[in-house]
Chains A and B, each alone.
Chain A
Amino acid sequence: MLALFPQRWLAFALVLPQTLLIALFFYLPVYLAFYWSFTLERPFGGGSEFVGLQNYARVLADPEFWRSLRLTFVFMVIGSTLAIVIPLILALAADRHIRLSQPARNILVWPKGVAGASIGLVFVFIFNPFLGLLAPLNAVFPGIWNPRIDGADAFTMIVVAHVWGGIPFNFVVLLSGLQAVPQVLHRAAALDGAGPWRRVRDVQLPLIAPQLFLTFALEFTESVTGAFGLIDSMTEGGPGGSTTLLVYKIYVDGFRGYDLSGAATQTALLMIFVLILTAFQFLVLERRVRYER
């Protein structure tokens, strides 16, 4: 450090732009959210009033908040698991050099370049009950698929869109992990009597534990916040609030209902929720991950 940066000010100067950006767009909003959660904000400006924990008492007593949090949790668990298991299967296949894995490797990365709202728009068409992929199913069993009416259908649709959007990044990370597993270990395991599936379990998965941990840690936090674009473009939280995840509820409460204090309080609670999950991952799961090879 000292040898690389003889002038101390240079090191600070290089770090400054990034620090400013983080302070302005992360630490300041976080601070304000917590600050507002203890005050009563007027929707059209003009001062605020300190109310202590009243906002929290109000939010925590609201069944809508708990429903939203539960949906967020379910979405996080199902969405993240699928968004890792599916790319994992694809990565295992691509790593095996099965036919067409080379072009597939390329094509599978494309969805990374599509914004959440665009994904949502496309999936709205794909899942349209009358025109979409499942329309023939409706022709046989009328009304079996209709995300505009059925909450479970709508939730499924959001999960599918989310998983689809999560495939590229997780696929790339997991594939790179698999390709770093020395080929000779496959050979050794094959001679030791392990078939392809056994090798996945005993050799490949343990050796990509760091990549699996990384994707899980990122996917969990991402699924909590990243669903906003999908929900906004596909269901707007409906039908009947069945896809109103917390991140969308905050938006609706704050910018449509003008309950700025309530939104700030829920934001604070959401951040604490993510913080607890991330702490759990690093304190409990990461200890089982070995980075040495």
Chain B
Amino acid sequence: MTQAAEIALKGVAKRFGTTEVLPPLDLTFTAGAFTVILGPSGCGKSTLLNLIAGLEAVSGGEIEIGGRKVQDLPPRERGCAMVFQSYALYPHMTAGDNIGYPLKVAGVPRRERMARIAEAARVVGLGDYLARRPSELSGGQRQRVAIARAIVRAPQVMLFDEPLSNLDALLRHETRAELADLHRRIGATTVFVTHDQAEALTLADQIVVMNAGRVEQIGTPADIYHRPATRFVASFIGHPPMSLIAATGDGTWLRLGDGTPLVASTHKGAVLAGVRPEAVVLDAGGASLVPLHREDLGSHIVQVFRLPDGQKVAVQSPAGRPVPTDAGLGIAEHALHLFDAETGVRLGS
């Protein structure tokens, strides 16, 4: 068990030349927590990780790790360990030497080093591969070596940069479970960057959703899923994602562009109405639906329909029970998410 440290970002910003990749940002990563930074490619999530690790210099603001200001320290003095997407193993060293390299640099005597290498290899379930070179290992084994190299120094902070995206689907699923287990045992403050919402929802204590350099929402997986704070989060999380329907409220109804009433609501003015595909209820009297296409996924069926004004809505139904073609759209009021049509910010509770 290592000592976990809180990471606090205060007004941290990053510019490349005149391009602002990260506007000033305040963010706290609770000590010992597993935080996932989730966002599409190019949203600045990896840059944020590199700033914490010290691989890139901040353009402004402060980074504190365990109460210590580290923004001007080189990476080795920050106490972070990192697992890279490509694993970044040293090709000329054996797996064992790779794992032991941080200890060797730190001047740990050989005997102690060997013991700690063996222990780290045991923790990640890396069997008798310590004498092999990375080129002789499979993707999954390389991944384990990379993780063992990160934990061997008992770091206060573990950083993961999309570590699962080079694995095949089955292995990714297994490794996900192992990472969660590893975090429970190691206890280091963990920051995990990914674009995969399934990883975020299953692993995280806290999710930070980012888009275009800005933080869209910070919350638990349940928060993020059930109460998305912005239209971006709503459309990014969920598989298939939430349908967002442009509508106008007249005080009693939200109406589509052609005047068809969509759902009862006291809201007035233009609004985006969001509904998760699994929360759609069918109502013979509701807005009529024209089927567009359907995907049968075995456990459930996803169908996409056209609304009377041309917008689309996705409906998920249990396996073997496709939505009848003459059904109308119903939305339970509690399942309705409203977002400001202009700013995309969530309205109401």
Given A207-B92, A293-B91, the answer on whether A193 and B76 have CB atoms closer than 8 Å is yes
**Given A182-B86, A198-B105, CB of A191 within 8 Å of CB of B91:** no
Instruction: Check A292 against B75 for contact (C-beta < 8 Å).
Output: no
Decide yes or no whether A43 CB sits under 8 A from chain B. no
Asked if B202 is at the interface of the complex by the 8 Å CB criterion, the answer is no
List of B residues within 8 angstroms of A198 by Cβ: 105
List, in ascending order, chain A residues with CB within 8 A of B149's CB: 188, 192
* Size of interface on B: residues with Cβ below 8 Å to A: 25
Q: Contact check, B80 vs A191: say whether CB atoms are below 8 A apart.
A: yes
A residues in contact with B84, CB < 8 Å? 184, 187-188
Q: Would A193 and B92 be within 8 Å (CB), given that A182-B86, A187-B55, A292-B135 are in contact?
A: no
Residues B76 and A195 in contact, CB atoms below 8 Å apart: yes
- Which B-chain residue is minimally distant from A196 (CB atoms)? B74
- Per the bound structure, the CA–CA distance linking A36 and B149 in Å amounts to 64
Interface residues of A in 190-244 (CB under 8 A from B): 190-195, 198, 202-203, 206-207, 209
Say how far B190's CB is from chain A's closest CB, in angstroms: 15
- 26 A-B residue pairs with CB within 8 Å: A182-B86, A184-B86, A185-B88, A187-B88, A188-B84, A188-B88, A188-B149, A189-B90, A190-B74, A191-B55, A191-B82, A192-B101, A192-B102, A193-B76, A193-B102, A193-B105, A193-B106, A194-B101, A194-B105, A195-B74, A202-B105, A207-B92, A209-B92, A290-B92, A292-B135, A293-B135
B139 to chain A, nearest CB (A): 16
Per-residue contact bits, chain B 182-204, to A (CB 8 Å; 1 contact, 0 not): 00000000000000000000000
- Which of A184, A194, A206 sits near B92, CB closer than 8 Å? A206
Name which of A192, A195, A290 has the most chain B CB atoms within 10 A of its CB.
A192
Is B86 a contact of A192 with CB atoms below 8 Å?
Answer: no
Chain B positions within 8 Å of A187 at CB level: 50, 53, 55, 82, 84, 88
Chain B: CB-nearest residue to A199? B105
List chain A residues, Cβ under 8 A from B53. 187, 191
With the chains together, A105 CA to B93 CA distance in Å? 31
Cβ contact of A185, chosen from B55, B74, B90, B135, cutoff 8 A = B90
Q: Give complex CA distance A219, B101 in Å.
A: 33
The contact size tier of chain A is 20 to 34
A190 near B88 with CB under 8 A, answer: no
By a beta-carbon cutoff of 8 Å, the part of chain A in contact with chain B is 182, 184-185, 187-195, 198, 202-203, 206-207, 209, 290, 292-293
B81 at interface, CB cutoff 8 A: yes
- The residue in B81, B88, B101, B102 that gathers the most chain A C-beta atoms within 10 A of its C-beta is B88
Please tell me which one of the listed residues B75, B91, B92, B135 contacts residue A190 in the complex, with CB atoms under 8 A apart: B75
* Distance of A194 Cα from B149 Cα, bound (Å): 14
When each residue 56-88 of chain B gets 1 if its CB lies under 8 Å from chain A and 0 otherwise, what string results?
000000000000000000111000111010101
Which residue of chain A has the shortest Cβ distance to B91 in the bound complex? A293
Bound complex: CA A193 to CA B133 (Å): 21
13 new A-B contacts, CB < 8 A, other than A188-B90, A189-B101, A191-B81, are A185-B90, A187-B84, A188-B82, A190-B54, A191-B75, A191-B82, A192-B76, A195-B76, A202-B101, A206-B92, A207-B92, A209-B92, A292-B135
A184 near B88 (CB under 8 angstroms)? yes
The interface residues of chain A lying within 8 Å CB-to-CB of B135 are 292-293
Across the interface, which residues of B come within 8 angstroms of A191, CB to CB?
53-55, 75-76, 80-82
What residue of chain B has the Cβ atom nearest to residue A206's Cβ? B92
CA of A288 to CA of B68, assembled, Å: 45
User: Please, which residues of chain A bring their CB within 8 A of the CB of B50?
Assistant: 187
Closest to A192 in B: B102
The residues of A that contact B90 with a CB separation of less than 8 Å are 185, 188-189, 202-203
- Chain A residues, CB < 8 A from B91: 207, 292-293
* Binary flags per residue of B126-164, CB closer than 8 Å to A gives 1, else 0: 000000010100000000000001000100000000000
Please, how many angstroms separate the alpha-carbon atoms of A188 and B81 in the complex?
9
- CB contact between B105 and one of A192, A209, A290, A293 (< 8 Å): that residue: A192
Task: Report which residue of B80, B86, B105, B133 has the largest number of chain A beta carbons within 10 angstroms of its beta carbon.
Answer: B105
CA distance A237 to B148 in the complex (A): 61
User: Which residue from chain B places its CB closest to the CB of A290 in the assembled complex?
Assistant: B92
A293 to chain B, nearest CB (A): 5
Instruction: State the CA gap A212–B310 with chains docked (Å).
Output: 66
How far in angstroms is the closest Cβ of chain A from B56?
10
Return A207 CB to nearest CB of chain B, in Å: 6
Contact partners of B75 in chain A: CB under 8 A: 190-191, 193
Interface readout for B256-281 with A: 1 if CB under 8 Å, 0 if not? 00000000000000000000000000
Residues of chain A within 8 A of B81, CB atoms compared:
191
State in angstroms the CA–CA spacing of A80 and B165 once bound together.
46
Q: Which 6 A-B pairs have the closest CB atoms?
A: A188-B88, A193-B76, A192-B102, A193-B105, A184-B88, A206-B92
Closest residue to B105 on the A side, CB-wise? A193
Which residues of chain B have C-beta atoms less than 8 A from A192's C-beta?
76, 101-102, 105, 149
Q: How far is the CB of A215 from chain B (nearest CB, A)?
A: 18
Q: How far is the CA of A195 from the CA of B88 in the complex (A)?
A: 17
Asked whether B101 lies within 8 Å of A182 as measured between CB atoms, the reply is no
- A123→B105 CA distance, assembly (Å): 45
- Complex-state Cα separation, A182 to B90, whole angstroms: 10
